Amino acid sequence: MNTYLLPLTGGVLLGLAAIWLLFSLGRVAGISGIAWGALSGPDRGWRWLFLLGLLCGGAVTHNLIGHPIPTESNAPLWLIACSGLLVGVGTRMGGGCTSGHGVCGLGRQSPRSLLATVIFMGLGILTVFVMQNVTGGLL
């Protein structure tokens, strides 16, 4: 199978889902906001269905394509916990997650989302560089 076909298909489907959500419910497809609203918002029904659709879509794709899902990590538990905490703090500080800013905000030509996406990407690149070169790939 062409190595570009799956990522291209996934990108198109993400874009279509974001457009559908915006036009049908007037909502931005930011996963952190959807997840938070599923726990605390008044309109929880569609949010739970959206999150369930993400999980089911991944499972169906896995079964159709047959690629193994990585289940192990060599990273220590403290690093995984700290990473999750930093992602949560960054999401809160940035006013949304990468899907909200990168997929939906850029599509709406939001300057705030452009800045947030540049910061997300820059810090991601810096983190990979530090983890691979400064620590020697140990962490």
Per-residue confidence (pLDDT) for residue 29, from 0 to 100:
87
90, 117 in Cβ contact below 8 A?
no
Q: What is the pLDDT of residue 113?
A: 92
pLDDT value, residue 49: 93
| Residues 54, 46: Cα–Cα separation, whole Å | 12
CA terminus-to-terminus distance, the chain: 33
User: What are the domain boundaries of the chain?
Assistant: 1-71, 72-139
Classify burial at 119, counting beta carbons within 10 Å of its beta carbon; exposed 0-12, middle 13-18, buried 19 or more: middle
> What string of pLDDT tens digits covers the 139 residues of the chain?
678 888 898 889 888 988 998 899 888 888 888 888 899 878 899 999 999 998 898 888 888 887 776 777 788 889 889 988 988 888 888 888 888 898 889 888 999 999 999 998 998 899 889 888 887 776 6
CB burial class (10 A; 0-12, 13-18, 19+) of residue 90?
Answer: middle
Question: If you ran DSSP here, which 8-state letter would residue 42 be given?
Answer: S
**What distance in Å separates the CA atoms of residue 44 and residue 49, rounded to the nearest whole number?**
9
Q: How far apart are CA 128 and CA 49, in angstroms?
A: 34
